[in-house]
Amino acid sequence: MSSVETQRTLDALWRIESPKLIAGLSRIVRDVGVAEELAQDAFVSALAQWPESGIPRNPGAWLMAVAKRRAIDRFRREDLRERKHQELARDHQLQRLGESDTDTRDDDIDDDLLRLIFIACHPVLSADARVALTLRLLGGLSTGQIARAFLVAEPVVAQRIVRAKRTLSEARVPFEVPNAAEREARLASVLGVLYLIFNEGYAASAGDDVLRPQLCDDALRLGRVLAQLLPDDPEVNALVALMEIQASRASARVNASGEPILLLDQDRGKWDQLLIRRGLAALERAEGLGGASGPYALQAAIAACHARAATPDQTDWTRIAALYDALVVVLPSPVVQLNRAVAVGMAYGAAAGLELVDALMSEPALKTYRLLPSVRGDLLEKLSRFGEAQAEFSRAAELSQNARDRAVMRERAARCARR
């Protein structure tokens, strides 16, 4: 096998094996930064040896064995406690080169992955750091890939990751799943990070593209992993349901020129029915676990109303409005209130929706939120108040940092000007 072929294979293996490798090493060395370095060293060794020796039968076990051997060497050099050295040596003996595929038990891998997810999304880190570290350690993305996905300079992302590892080390965050007392809050942080990643892929906040499919794929993949690790948690299942259903619309969200297509204008024949079925099944699991009133379950139920409607006219807007009424109670954010206004406008008329939107005009959190004038412009256009609608669409264009969205808003403003 040539070096190029080996590199290509290792790139694919990194995405698959690195989360498990880093998770297992983090349990041993109790430091995610050191664990990642050891994992990278193992991949460098593979790049040097595999072109001649060939890819081993169990690449993951080979990489873990090499990484653990490097860990032992590191502890020797640093003269760490003899007990830790002996534990590593014994563990290494069980993982020596050439052992079978049953070297590491699945439940051990699962426990390690779950711990790593909670560490990467630890509340001691900033939101940006949680996202970057999650994509780096669990998504297998390079610093450059993360930077390109979020349109941020690569040194900025690199610094976030370095700072996050340092913060975790200095805070002496234990490598463990949080206890029952703090688990709910910690899990909320994990789910929030995954949904933030998904949303940035599904509706890019800046740049030239509406969609960034890789981020959607990474968030959905990690969500599915989390659902396998925590199958009895209703909100985990609900978040997976929400992402599955939303992801089903991806191919219908933009036209051939890359411009966004509004939900009611999309070709529903392009919606991915497999993802919809998976999403509805996950929602059913969440509701069966008693989680029907959770924030992600309510949002997934709203998405399900759209997914079940064969045509826009068949959408149950009355139920969607009622679901938003419930969502506002458990997630009382101005953005949720704005979405509720849209649903009310669809269910009970544009005037009813506009009344709710007008009540949000002085909300500080929405002052620079592009969707506020966009929604208001849409409702005003439906009421034939074209001059006011034009002003709102122009305002939305000014606030938008996404080139595609900005172009659509300008076109809608121009259309109102011609009426």
Domain ranges of the chain: 3-102, 105-230, 231-290
Looking at residue 79, its pLDDT comes to: 57
What are the residues whose beta carbons fall under 8 Å from the beta carbon of 352, sequence distance 6 or more? 344, 345
Residues in the chain with pLDDT < 50?
80, 93-105
What is the reported pTM?
0.78
Looking at residue 416, its pLDDT comes to: 96
The alpha carbon torsion through 379, 384, 390, 396 (nearest 10 deg) reads 10
Looking at residue 97, its pLDDT comes to: 36
Looking at residue 20, its pLDDT comes to: 85
Looking at residue 345, its pLDDT comes to: 97
pLDDT tens-digit readout, 78-109? 654 555 555 555 555 444 433 433 344 455 55
Looking at residue 30, its pLDDT comes to: 84
pLDDT tens-digit readout, 327-371? 999 998 999 999 999 999 999 999 999 999 999 999 998 998 999
pLDDT tens-digit readout, 249-258? 999 998 888 8
Looking at residue 260, its pLDDT comes to: 85
Looking at residue 205, its pLDDT comes to: 64
